[in-house]
Every structure is written in structure tokens, then in C-alpha cells.
Amino acid sequence: GQQLNQSPQSMFIQEGEDVSMNCTSSSIFNTWLWYKQDPGEGPVLLIALYKAGELTSNGRLTAQFGITRKDSFLNISASIPSDVGIYFCAGLYYGGSQGNLIFGKGTKLSVKP
């Protein structure tokens, strides 16, 4: 079945640094989404991408839907301590009459002040 390979698994960075993470698959997806999970909370949607090649920003976050529809990346610029958490990519594909959502295993981000 479809699988998402999310990397890196974890990152330890200094405050102010830029961060980049990505998700790849051997399968095509119709939608790519990025979620963030703060410690002790449920995941929250950050960015949703609907078209191949689409580049979308949300504040210091920028995400792109790969041209091949098999990958996506998320960049965070000028990281701050509250960026700490787990970032999940998710891909949606349509099989039969409905959409099927697959999550990556997450990238755990730690930010040192």
C-alpha cells in the first residue's frame, strides 16, 4: 500500500536557524498536508496543498507540492522556541469512491534558545 517516507526523523537546531523537512513516496497523491503536534496536544493543520507545483506560505512556514505529485517539503524560517513539536506530513489519494489519508512518521523538532 501507499507509504510516506518523512525525513529527517528528528532535528536539533539553534533558535534563528532555518529548518527543512520533506516527505517522499513512490505513489502519487492528490493533496499534501502538513500538521504540527505540540507536546501533549493533538495535531493541528498548518498548510494544505492541492496542486502539483503549488507553493504556499503561512507566516514563517512554506510548503510545496512536488511537480511529480510524489513529494512535498516544509520549510520553517528563523525558528523560534515555540516551533518545538512533531511535524507530520500527510498525503491524500483517491481510491474508489473516497479519499484515503496517509501520515508520515513525523519529524521531531527541538529548538535550543
Partner 1 sequence: DSGVTQTPKHLITATGQRVTLRCSPRSGDLSVYWYQQSLDQGLQFLIQYYNGEERAKGNILERFSAQQFPDLHSELNLSSLELGDSALYFCASTRLNTGELFFGEGSRLTVL
Closest to 6 in 3D by CA, of 106, 79, 100: 106
**SS3 state at 109:** strand
Q: Is 90 in the site for partner 1 (CB under 8 A)?
A: yes
**SS3 state at 27:** coil
Among 13, 48, 52, 84, binds partner 1 (CB under 8 A): 48
Among 23, 64, 74, 106, binds partner 1 (CB under 8 A): 106
Among 11, 22, 23, 31, binds partner 1 (CB under 8 A): 31
Tell me how far apart the alpha carbons of residues 74 and 15 are, in angstroms, rounded to a whole number: 17
Q: Is 103 in the site for partner 1 (CB under 8 A)?
A: yes
Among 13, 52, 84, 92, binds partner 1 (CB under 8 A): 92
Which residues are CB-contacts of 80 (< 8 A; sequence separation ≥ 6)?
15, 111
Q: How far is the CB of 30 from partner 1 (least distance, A)?
A: 9
